[in-house]
Structure 1
Amino acid sequence: MMVMPRKRRKPVAEINVVPYIDVMLVLLIIFMVTAPLITQGVKVDLPKASAEALSEDSKPPLVASVDAEGNYYLNQNTNPDQPISAQEVATLVAAQLQVEPDTPVMVNGDGAVSYNHIVQLMALLQKAGVPSVGLMTDSSEQ
């Protein structure tokens, strides 16, 4: 009987990456689940100095106001001193933005008004198509 010599195997210098891929997929899923939970609370550093005024050459802004009783006003309305409904604010702002899309929109709120009224007005403006809203303040310098 003829004996065949056994072939000697050469050592293989490869890394098995399958376990690493499994770990990376698990980490990816964990980060995808936890990322929205982390971004819900936003850290805000409020400015300690007064804000700069709008430049003179910029377009006059649309100013949506809320008084202490929660009534809405719009400076582009035919009678700006007359309170209007939330739907009228949304309609008038949307119409103005269709005519001039780059018109700045500002929110002017009474100091005694509830924060809820300001947030509702900002949400209303967002639904009307406003890309960004500025908040008006009084100068802190005396």
Structure 2
Amino acid sequence: MAISSHDAFSASGGGRRRRRRGGRRGALSEINVTPLVDVMLVLLIVFMISAPLLTVGVPVELPKTEAGSMQDQSEPLTVSIRADGSLFVQEEPVAFAGLSPRLRAMAGDTTKPIYVRADGRASYSAVAQVMAALSTSGFSSINLITDTGGPSSGGTPASDKPAG
């Protein structure tokens, strides 16, 4: 039995072409994602630019640590300590004597977390006094805010130690 060049498996379909019903094209069911990607990239750029501007307005240089970031909560109470020792609750300056009463009035209850943002050049005694005042006022959730990317607490490899 000989096989001809016009069998059923050839590209030409045996010399006859089949037409779809009515000769119409089928409906295009694909989604064009190019506009979606363009909009998402614009939104990403806008949020990347605006995110650093949404932090609390008291400028302090946070110390660097290796600790990771915490889960964000809605509008936490923030105490900021500048390098010169001046105190701020949220963005308003406050005297050390008025720190506890103002925080108690703002928090309502003492279970709300308090975030302490201290400048890296602020004295240890100023930070310790603020944290002690918060603790004696009944606040049990006191958190220190730091910047990430600081030195590791692990031992240094032998190749990094200075020769001597």
TM-score normalised according to structure 2 size:
0.47
Question: Structure 1, residues 33-83: CA drift from partner, whole Å, max 9, x if none?
Answer: xxxxxxxxxxxxxxxx73232324x333211111011111011xxxx1x42
Identity %: 27
Aligned twin of 1:74:
89
Contact 1:60 1:103 in 2 (8 A): no
Which runs of 5 or more residues in structure 2 are unaligned? 1-64, 151-164
Equivalent residue pairs, number = 86
Which runs of 5 or more residues in structure 1 are unaligned? 1-48
Question: Structure 1, residues 63-107: CA drift from partner, whole Å, max 9, x if none?
Answer: 1111011111011xxxx1x4210122111111233x244321111
CA distance in 1, matches of 2:67, 2:111: 21
Give secondary structure in 2 for the equivalent of 1:83: strand
Identify which of 54, 62, 67 aligns with 2:70: 54
Larger radius of gyration: 2
Contact 1:59 1:103 in 2 (8 A): no
Q: CA RMSD in A?
A: 1.9
**Structure 1 range deviating more: 83-92 or 107-116:** 83-92
CA distance in 2, matches of 1:106, 1:71: 16
Contact 1:64 1:108 in 2 (8 A): yes
Contact 2:114 2:142 in 1 (8 A): yes
Q: Report how far residue 115 of structure 1 moved.
A: 0.3
TM-score normalised according to structure 1 size:
0.53
CA distance in 2, matches of 1:88, 1:53: 30
Does residue 152 of structure 2 align to residue 132 of structure 1?
A: no
Aligned twin of 2:130:
121
